A and B are shown apart, each in its own frame.
Chain A
Amino acid sequence: MSNIGRYEDCYKTFDWSIAEKELNYQPHGVINIGWYCSDRICEMGKGDKTALIWEGLGGAEKRFTYHDIRRASNTIGSFLKGLGIQPEDRVCLFMDKVPELYLGVLGILKIGAIAQPLFSAFGDESLFVRLDNAKTRAIITQKKHAPKVRKILDKLPHLQFIIIVDHDGKAPLKDREVVFSLEKAAPVEKIEIHPTLAESASLLHYTSGTTGLPKGVKHVHYSLIAQYMTAKWVLDIRDDDIYWCTADPGWVTGTSYGIIGPWSLGVTQCVMDSGFSAESWYKFIEKHKISNWYSAPTAIRSLMKAGEEIIKKFDLSCLRTLASVGEPLNPEAVIWSERVFGKAFLDTYFQTETGSIMITNYLGMKIKPGSMGKPFPGTTAVVLDPKTYEPYPEAGKIGLIALKPGWPSMMRTYWNNEETYLKKFKNGWYMTGDRASIDKEGYFWFVGRDDDIINTGGHLVSPFEVESALIEHPAVAESAVVSKPDPINMEVVKAFVTLKAGFTASADLDLEIMNFIRKKLSPLAMPQEIEFTDALPKTRSGKIMRRILKAKEWGEEIGDTSTLEND
């Protein structure tokens, strides 16, 4: 029997107080995620249990018990306090998936500061806009990433501390840089946990918007209630499980289910901090006897591409629960996983803004390959008519996925951008920006985004951000960025570019522009294809019509072109 039991019964009777009681949380009382994920587990008598098995390049391994992560997060929190970091100050974590990243999040939360994890592959421009928007006071990073911070330091007067966790003394420290070494720091046995309340800010995750700069999604400590419950009931985490979430904590899955969910449940989790290869992933599962595996469609499709012969080299019988997130999982992948692992990947759906899984498949429930599944208990999800913003009364109609506000892990605002936050609501519903239909049995079926945002490998990329960066290249006059289909990443970035006088399209220029964006923004934002063109389709008022370019890429009807210039 799975943790959730019979879905229909749970959905009817569910109340979030179930999670509050299990976590011994008293309404209006103190709730601190850092404490819940370490000290509480130790107080439950599980301090000597392994909390984290970390594996780096070349098989380097580190293990931490719950006592270890309690002390390490105390030590990091204490160090930050010593620097003068105050509650609600933003502290960015800009690191690979090293232990300091995971332990640092807990340490920051314990002192009441706000953790702002950012993907370490971000280029200096992506990093700058996020640190500038959050007025981040300190950044914890590795020496390999410090040069990107140095490049933008002059423009960031609020950034007082650059904390380097692996300084080897070979090069001198530069402006505002300080050293912290978890291995050399004196362990702090006890720290005063900041008495954060349900609505105290915890995390700031940045997400891309169709227009404008990336938005800082503010989460609060009460999100724990939903992250705990969904990790238990969807990922089916049990006390003796070994859990692996492949997501990077630079993205919401990596914190909600790579830190908070598993550690609030007191389970042993594994982290692999090296690049992808099918062989190394299967080896990792076999070696650590992973029972619960939470991954992404891009990775699953890459594993499919690697073939089935390689799977036979490994004993993967330890796997019990497989789940996927980030973008819709295609039916072929579900059917493939049933055949090769004997278990279907459970597709799960949520967003940075929702903080926890909203619509999902469950163990024990009939799986319809390609379906998103059904709403999590305590969640009201509907498909709205885009004209009236009222739920469709009948099944099968394609509309806008909307959620009834009020679940514990819902974002509380966009940082310094309440206006955009308020626009996310219509008729009392939170608008996800995604389209779907619901079948007669209540299963949701994903159709696509309702805007121009590109979902590549489960990560959202703003066309506006890429276009803005493209025109900073000396050869580019104008640009339009759209998604194009991709068999592995579902969508990838494609750019249409017009050149300034004196520049000629060439293979070398194409590569130069690709690398320009990769370094400035991130590898995810790098156009995988650039099409040089003489002109871009525009409205008579001069607005670029991405819709026309996108329709061509996807082989869809172009639609109304009455406003097209020169039509």
Chain B
Amino acid sequence: MADEMKDIVLKYVTAEYLEDDADPIGFDTPLISGGIVDSFSMVSLKRFLENKYKISIPDDQATPEAFDSVDKIVVLVRKFTQA
């Protein structure tokens, strides 16, 4: 389940935030601190996760740190899908 979620999030981030011929990213690639996803774009990534997993992530938990890699995003999402 977690692996499947990781794949889905990675695929989405790659499709939406990377240019066509950009170097591939991994599960632990820094997204926010690495400049791949900026703070404004984080809102659309959060919206994707909420739509996809039918959850609501409170703003105070949608921090740059919590969104900084696919691995970290999956940890965050699982907190709400398991709730």
Contacts and interface: CB of A to CB of B under 8 A. Distances in A.
Interface string A247-290: 00000000000000000000000000111110110000000000
B44 A515 contact: yes
A523 interface: yes
A87 interface: no
A1 interface: no
Contacts of B38: 121, 275, 523
Contacts of B50: 507
Interface string B1-37: 0000000000000001001111000000011111111
> Interface residues of B: mostly helix, strand, loop or mixed?
loop
Interface string A286-298: 0000000000001
10 contacts: A121-B38, A143-B21, A148-B19, A457-B39, A457-B40, A514-B44, A518-B41, A518-B44, A523-B41, A526-B40
B32 A511 contact: no
Contact of B43 (A280, A507, A526): A526
Given A277-B64, A528-B43, 17 more contacts: A145-B19, A147-B21, A148-B19, A275-B30, A275-B31, A275-B32, A276-B33, A277-B32, A302-B39, A305-B63, A457-B40, A488-B39, A510-B47, A511-B48, A514-B43, A514-B44, A523-B38
B71 interface: no
Interface string A342-382: 00000000000000000000000000000000000000000
A508 interface: yes
Contact of A507 (B22, B37, B44, B51): B51
A186 interface: no
Interface in A171-199: 171
A57 interface: yes
A62 interface: no
B16 A275 contact: no
A275 B20 CA distance: 21
A277 B68 contact: yes
A144 B22 contact: yes
Contacts of A148: 19
Given A510-B47, A514-B44, A526-B40, A57 B35 contact: yes
A236 interface: no
Contacts of A511: 44, 47-48, 51
Interface residues of A, number: 35
A145 B32 CA distance: 18
B24 to A, nearest CB: 13
B36 to A, nearest CB: 8
Nearest to B18: A144
A524 interface: yes
A276 B48 contact: no
Interface in B52-66: 63-65
Interface in A43-83: 57
Q: Which of B22, B37, B47, B63 has the most CB of A within 10 A?
A: B47
A276 B64 contact: yes
Contacts of B36: 275
B12 to A, nearest CB: 10
A277 B19 CA distance: 23
Interface string A483-515: 000001100000000000000000110110011
A57 B31 CA distance: 11
Contacts of B35: 57, 96, 273-275
